Structure 1
Amino acid sequence: MTDSGDSGPRVTMLMRLEALAARGALALLRRLGPVRASDVGGAISRAIGPRLPVSRVADANLRLALPGLDRAERRAVIRDVWDNLGRTVGELPHLSRLPRDPAHGPGWDVTGAEHLAAQVARGGAAIFVSGHIGNWEMLPPAVAHHGLPFASFYRAAANPLIDRMIRTLRDEAMEHSVPLFAKGARGARGALAHVARGGRLGMLVDQKMNDGIEARLFGQPAMTAPALAAMALRYRCPVIPGYVERLGPARLRIHVEPPLPLPDTGDRQADVLALTQAVNDRLESWIRTHPGSWLWLHRRWPKTLFETRA
């Protein structure tokens, strides 16, 4: 049994069953409360994740990027990666209700809020840049709480029913309606037009882009998307870095840093590379500080780098 139409992919019976299971899981996570939901998500993920084949990708990445870690230390980082991922999922239904600046217990706070206040006063276009660090889902609602809701790129879930649930949870946390741009050429054009109109855009730029430009990450060549740098330089808009640090179960700290300097040498290609490298340098600094909070499961570097070390 399927539904068909021009508005999206067909909804199959399997998709309906998946969505039913997802709704049940979300209902359970809500009943557990933010701390227990985080703990349960982390426990399940760290019990299963390190045994999955994708964890070998993480181990290879760690051997390349942080060669000083021994096997036991790499295993500890990978366990933390899975723990953080599970907690991020468990906390998703609770983001809209987490208190700000709690004295203790679950909630979130911000360091560097003055940089957000400066952008509010300045107005106009801005690009917020981060990576899959800590509970990255908390960054958009926290920034929106300071008066700066931003649009973002979005990869839809394969199941449109589950995709709708995820988007609803994100909208509840944001408390604002913002554009979402599909990854790809069409989405890139939409994002460019959005920034040109003075809109704000958030980007997670820590994943490999095969047709990107070669910057460095942990001293190794890493193909990186140049769109952020190209937009920022074209419209001379601030690039504001930030990331989410996990302090405990459903206890999060958003770090906001000053806008990155925008190069202006007259050589556009060199300027795009310089700004892209500056972004990678900030990502690397955050990851080195909190290695277990980054998503090492992604194939971030070229395969040839691993073949030469085999």
Structure 2
Amino acid sequence: MKKLLGFVLKSFCWLIYHLPLKLRFFMGDILGILWFDIFRIRRQVVIDNISRVFPEMTEKNKVVLGRWSLRNMGRNLIEYCYLPFMSKSLVERFFRFEGEHYVQEALSQGKGVCFLTLHLGSGDLACSALSVKGYPVHLISKIFKVKWLNDLWFGMREKVGTKFIAPRNSSYHILKALKKNEIVIFVMDQFTGPPIGVRTKFFGYETGTGFGLALMAQRSGAPVIPIYTIRQLDGTHVIRIQPPIPFEDSDDRDESLAQMTQVYNDYLEKFVLECPEQWMWVHKRWKIFREN
């Protein structure tokens, strides 16, 4: 049964992969419109989040931006069908890297590299593209409780070389990967409360953000490199890589971790503003941060 399901899934992915670009976009757009306009799943969360970041935007434009965000999420889902066919030629065809030399220079230090990123553009596909290019990538990601969904979501990406680290008790595995001079990806645009989160601000509003990246950078000395992905109108993707963020240490360890986590949030704000229609507004980013 498992082999049959795998065959059916790969056949479906093959069909989607060979469809014209406009039709793939159309299918993704339909998924997004169904989510946002028909089923209206977390529609108000999307509008409320947009209102925080763009308070002067008209209600009409907030709806337009929210709809575009979900349309892009739909396109992400359709592009997931590329994964069984990921190859160097596909990466060369669909991806353009800006600032890749920053990664190579950081790896030459031999301390590993921490990537700072967010849910912008087709991040899952970009992660696989990095693996196909030969970079030793580890992605910190929650594991689904449903086994078949877990196998589906992670299985195809593992086949192209991406490794996954579960967030719970992850320090050992992160430091081990960095010690081997490999890359660990931290996706930091979701709310994280105590004890692994710290009180921060995001677009001027108080929230909680995980301090794991700051802690791992402090312990290992690994450079922290901001990286994000933007989908282009022609269906290609630009992976933008920026210079490493200097770690500002102090005698107060907790204060250093909080300050650096805020610095990382400030970077993410800029990426969201660069392409707000491709950010995942559907997440409840601004929950109440309650101390233990």
TM-score w.r.t. the length of structure 1 is 0.81
- Is 1:99 aligned with 2:90? yes
Q: How far did 1:43 drift?
A: 2.5
Q: Which runs of 5+ in 1 are unaligned?
A: 1-12, 305-310
Change (3 A) 1:217 1:44: same
Match of residue 65, structure 1, among 53, 69, 93: 53
Counterpart of 1:187, as a letter, is S
Counterpart of 2:99, as a letter, is G
Distance 1:181 1:152 in 2: 6
Distance 1:179 1:111 in 2: 23
**After superposition, what is the alpha-carbon deviation per residue over 1:30-57, rounded to whole angstroms, capped at 9, x for unaligned?**
4536663343122332243234130110
Q: How far did 1:20 drift?
A: 9.5
**After superposition, what is the alpha-carbon deviation per residue over 1:48-79, rounded to whole angstroms, capped at 9, x for unaligned?**
32341301101111112221211011111111
Do the aligned partners of 1:87 and 1:249 also contact (CA within 8 Å) in 2?
no
Match of residue 168, structure 1, among 142, 155, 164: 155
Aligned partner of 1:117 in structure 2 is 104
Aligned partner of 2:167 in structure 1 is 183
- Is 1:156 aligned with 2:143? yes
Change (3 A) 1:137 1:76: same
- Is 1:207 aligned with 2:194? no
Aligned partner of 1:134 in structure 2 is 121
Aligned partner of 1:89 in structure 2 is 77
**After superposition, what is the alpha-carbon deviation per residue over 1:237-272, rounded to whole angstroms, capped at 9, x for unaligned?**
100111000112531100000000111222211211
Do the aligned partners of 1:142 and 1:254 also contact (CA within 8 Å) in 2?
no
**How much identity, in percent, do the aligned residues show?**
22
Change (3 A) 1:205 1:229: same
Aligned partner of 2:236 in structure 1 is 251
Distance 2:114 2:58 in 1: 38
Counterpart of 1:195, as a letter, is L
Counterpart of 1:256, as a letter, is I
Aligned partner of 1:4 in structure 2 is none
Q: How far did 1:196 drift?
A: 4.4
- 3-state secondary structure, aligned to 1:122: coil
- 3-state secondary structure, aligned to 1:82: helix
Aligned partner of 1:263 in structure 2 is 248
Q: How far did 1:124 drift?
A: 2.7
Aligned partner of 1:10 in structure 2 is none
Q: How far did 1:21 drift?
A: 8.3
Do the aligned partners of 1:135 and 1:244 also contact (CA within 8 Å) in 2?
yes
Aligned partner of 1:78 in structure 2 is 66
Counterpart of 1:140, as a letter, is C
Change (3 A) 1:141 1:122: farther
- 3-state secondary structure, aligned to 1:216: strand
Counterpart of 1:157, as a letter, is F
Do the aligned partners of 2:113 and 2:224 also contact (CA within 8 Å) in 1?
yes
Counterpart of 2:166, as a letter, is A
Change (3 A) 1:22 1:50: farther
Summarize the alignment of residues 282-297 of structure 1 with structure 2, pairs less than 5 Å apart: 282-297=267-282
Distance 1:33 1:163 in 2: 29
- The RMSD of aligned alpha carbons is 2.8
Do the aligned partners of 1:181 and 1:188 also contact (CA within 8 Å) in 2?
no
